[in-house]
């Protein structure tokens, strides 16, 4: 059998961001893999120490586009923990609404890209069409289709008027049937089954060893969701089940995402129904004292973690974050081993990789 | 949760010595974070093994140079572990020069990239790492860029300043 090394870039892998792979082949099967990050390394962890805590909210929102609400909200939670700021209850619910809208849009984007990777163009169009309802909701509520600018230290900087609430209720209603249909498609359509079931399998033990997070972990039967394990914001008062699958293949990862998108619709409805009245942001913010804190959240791709250390000035001494994708790249070595070359783009996209987040 | 705090405290004392203390904080939602400063760099490896025994997951590694510690000629590295939702942070204090830590990659496979990044951005040697290559930055950049000021254009390899201007002028003259 011939052994060969090929290098694959974003173009061959249907990635919208630059990441390179050195793949060792035996015949037409993958034997080993080396991931080569760093093409969009912007030194952002260095930049945040040259901006004050308020300016950093804006910078962190630009880390990447799909999880662009999770970064500022988790960062704000870290600052609030250091300073002992309790955010108003209404703000907790409004943060959850923004997070869940972003989660639906992110999960659907991932499913769409995978449909594209296997040449199912009508399905790609359909998923993006359903996602468009959320894009329009973002534009209507926040004035932007990607970065929502919803968070400030101590709360949020947007409100939902009764018309906004009614609009969101309708948007959620419009999502339900299409999301159920998409779930049935990804679960039962014979063409998708043939391309996605038993492909790119990550066994549970390997998932634990690689310490994968988010839908990639939950698709292997690991029942871990930050919203349940380390509740934050309004999530301790919202009802949902952690979506898990056991097969650990591409199909299972998509089913977890589509189940979560459907749950997010319910979570937004619960937030709208329970939305308490009151202020949007804590008045009188205290000075930020010296201290350190950890803040975690369930970003669309999984556990997002922030460590903040302050010295009493407005500038962080250290701000470090670890994104969910950072944990998931290594698992590709297991998922791709023995797979034909033709499956590489699909399997790589099935972990929903975020390159700008990984490189920072 | 009380079990967790007791078990962690007992395991760390056993692994890293009597002086090892964990301070636990519970936030408004009841989420626990534990903070522990290890008595010495040598205590890191046994402490990490103890956390692995307790089914802990390595979540993040944070190297940094706190201003005051820098004046004292020190640097710190914080290792954050997840224990079923609670986060335990073990901090080691190291000298500013010739800082060395043992690699945790043999215990936690996912420490691989974190340690490669740590070696690349900071002047810290990770002893026993199975694959100590650079991870993110081009080899033309100087070692340990987070420890000194590197112009942004150099850091991102975006030669937009003088080099580009010279090129534009050069092409104009050629034409």
Helix (H) or strand (E) holding A153: none
Q: How does pLDDT run along chain A (360 residues), one tens digit per residue?
A: 788 888 888 888 777 788 888 889 998 899 998 888 888 888 888 889 889 999 999 999 998 888 899 999 999 999 999 998 989 999 999 999 999 999 999 999 999 999 999 989 999 999 999 999 999 999 999 999 988 989 999 999 999 999 999 999 999 999 999 999 999 999 999 999 999 999 999 999 999 999 999 999 999 999 999 999 999 999 999 999 999 999 999 999 999 999 999 999 999 999 999 999 989 998 888 888 998 999 999 999 999 999 999 988 889 988 999 999 998 999 999 999 999 998 998 999 999 988 888 888
Q: Apex CA A295: angle with CA A290 and CA A296, to 5°?
A: 170
Closest-approach residue (CA) in chain B for A211: B110
| B142 contact A CB<8A | no
Nearest-neighbour CA in chain B from A313: distance (Å): 12
Give the nearest partner residue to A231 out of B31, B33, B109, using CB atoms: B31
Place of tokens 């209507």: A140
Contacts of B67 in chain A (CB under 8 A): 311, 317
Give the nearest partner residue to B31 out of A230, A320, A322, using CB atoms: A230
Q: How far apart are CA A194 and CA A119, in angstroms?
A: 13
Per the CB < 8 A criterion, the answer to whether A358 and A326 are in contact is: yes
Nearest-neighbour CA in chain A from B153: distance (Å): 10
Q: Apex CA B52: angle with CA A33 and CA B86, to 5°?
A: 105
Q: ipTM of the assembly?
A: 0.90
Q: Are strands B124-127 and B99-102 parallel, antiparallel or unpaired?
A: parallel
How many CB pairs below 8 A link A and B?
88
| B33 contact A CB<8A | yes
Give the pLDDT score at A155.
92
Give the nearest partner residue to B60 out of A41, A47, A307, using CB atoms: A307
Q: What is the pTM of this model?
A: 0.90
Sign of CA dihedral A342, A345, A348, A349: negative
C-beta atoms of B155 and A43 within 8 A: yes
Contacts of B136 in chain A (CB under 8 A): 37-38, 41, 359
Give the pLDDT score at B157.
58
| B24 contact A CB<8A | no
Q: How far apart are CA A67 and CA A213, in angstroms?
A: 15
Average pLDDT over residues B130-139: 84
Per the CB < 8 A criterion, the answer to whether A315 and A53 are in contact is: yes
* DSSP assignments along B100-164, one per residue: EEE--TTT-TTHHHHHHHHHHHSSEEEET-S-----SS-TTSPS-GGGS---HHHHTT---SHHH
Provide the β-strand partners of residue A305.
A296, A322
- What lies within 8 Å, CB to CB, of A226 at 6+ separation is A232, A296, A297, A298, A302, A303, A304, B85
Closest-approach residue (CA) in chain A for B86: A230
Sign of CA dihedral A5, B121, A293, A149: negative
Using DSSP's 3-state secondary structure scheme, residue B59 falls into: strand
User: What are the CA-CA distances from residue B43 to residues A85, B37, B47, B58, B92 (Å)?
Assistant: 35, 10, 6, 17, 9
Contacts of B112 in chain A (CB under 8 A): 330
Per the CB < 8 A criterion, the answer to whether A292 and B35 are in contact is: yes
Torsion from C-alpha of A135, A113, A298, A186, nearest 10 degrees: 100
- What lies within 8 Å, CB to CB, of B162 at 6+ separation is none
C-beta atoms of A311 and B66 within 8 A: yes
Closest-approach residue (CA) in chain A for B118: A320
C-beta atoms of A330 and B113 within 8 A: yes
Give the pLDDT score at B140.
74
Per the CB < 8 A criterion, the answer to whether A279 and A155 are in contact is: yes
C-beta atoms of A38 and B135 within 8 A: yes
Helix (H) or strand (E) holding A234: none
C-beta atoms of A330 and B84 within 8 A: no
pLDDT in tens, B48-99: 999 999 999 999 999 988 777 677 888 889 999 999 899 999 999 888 888 8
Nearest-neighbour CA in chain B from A261: distance (Å): 23
Give the pLDDT score at B155.
65
Contacts of A236 in chain B (CB under 8 A): 29
C-beta atoms of B156 and A42 within 8 A: yes
Query: What tokens were used for A121?
Result: 């163009």
Neighbours of A290 (CB within 10 A): 12
Query: What tokens were used for A214?
Result: 């988010």
């Amino acid at each position: 059998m011939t052994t060969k090394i090929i290098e694959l870039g974003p173009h061959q892998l249907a990635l919208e961001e630059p990441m390179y792979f050195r793949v060792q082949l035996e015949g037409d099967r993958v034997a080993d893999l080396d991931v080569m990050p760093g093409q969009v390394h912007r030194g952002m962890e260095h930049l945040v120490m040259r901006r004050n805590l308020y300016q950093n909210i804006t910078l962190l929102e630009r880390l990447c586009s799909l999880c662009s609400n999770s970064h500022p909200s988790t960062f704000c939670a870290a600052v609030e923990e250091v300073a002992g700021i309790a955010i108003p209850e209404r703000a907790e619910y409004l943060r959850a609404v923004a997070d869940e809208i972003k989660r639906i849009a992110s999960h659907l984007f991932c499913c769409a890209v995978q449909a594209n990777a296997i040449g199912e163009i009508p399905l790609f169009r359909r998923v993006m069409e359903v996602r468009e309802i959320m894009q329009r909701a973002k534009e209507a509520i926040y004035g932007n289709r990607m970065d929502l600018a919803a968070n400030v230290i101590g709360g949020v900087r947007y409100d939902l008027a009764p018309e906004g609430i009614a609009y969101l209720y309708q948007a959620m209603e419009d999502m339900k049937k299409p999301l159920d249909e998409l779930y049935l498609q990804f679960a039962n359509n014979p063409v998708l089954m043939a391309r996605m079931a038993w492909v790119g399998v990550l066994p549970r033990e390997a998932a634990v060893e690689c310490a994968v997070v988010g839908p990639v972990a939950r698709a292997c039967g690991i029942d871990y969701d930050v919203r349940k394990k380390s509740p934050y914001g309004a999530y301790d008062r919202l009802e949902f089940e952690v979506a898990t699958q056991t097969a650990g293949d591409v199909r299972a990862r998509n089913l977890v995402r589509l189940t979560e998108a459907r749950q997010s619709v319910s979570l937004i409805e619960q937030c709208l129904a329970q939305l308490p009245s009151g202020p949007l942001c804590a008045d009188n913010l205290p000075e930020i004292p010296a201290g350190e804190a950890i803040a975690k959240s369930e970003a669309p791709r999984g556990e997002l973690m922030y460590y903040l250390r302050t010295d009493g000035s407005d500038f962080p001494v250290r701000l470090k974050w670890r994104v969910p994708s950072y944990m998931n790249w290594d698992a590709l070595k297991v998922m791709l081993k023995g797979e034909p070359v033709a499956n590489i783009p699909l399997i790589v996209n099935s972990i929903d990789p975020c390159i700008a987040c990984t490189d920072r | 949760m009380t079990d967790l705090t007791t078990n962690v405290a007992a395991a760390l004392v056993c692994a890293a010595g009597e002086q090892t203390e964990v301070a636990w904080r519970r936030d408004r939602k009841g989420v626990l974070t534990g903070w522990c400063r290890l008595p010495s760099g040598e205590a890191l490896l046994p402490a990490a093994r103890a956390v692995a025994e307790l089914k802990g997951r390595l979540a993040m590694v944070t190297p940094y140079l706190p201003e005051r510690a820098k004046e004292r000629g020190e640097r710190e590295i914080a290792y954050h572990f997840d224990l079923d939702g609670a986060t335990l942070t073990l901090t080691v204090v190291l000298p500013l020069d010739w800082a060395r830590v043992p690699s945790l990659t043999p215990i936690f496979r996912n420490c691989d990239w974190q340690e490669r990044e740590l070696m690349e951005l900071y002047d810290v040697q990770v002893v026993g790492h199975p694959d100590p290559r650079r991870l993110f930055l081009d080899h033309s950049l100087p070692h340990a860029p987070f420890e000194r000021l590197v112009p942004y254009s150099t850091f991102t390899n975006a030669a937009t300043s003088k080099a580009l201007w010279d090129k534009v002028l050069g092409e104009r003259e050629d034409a």
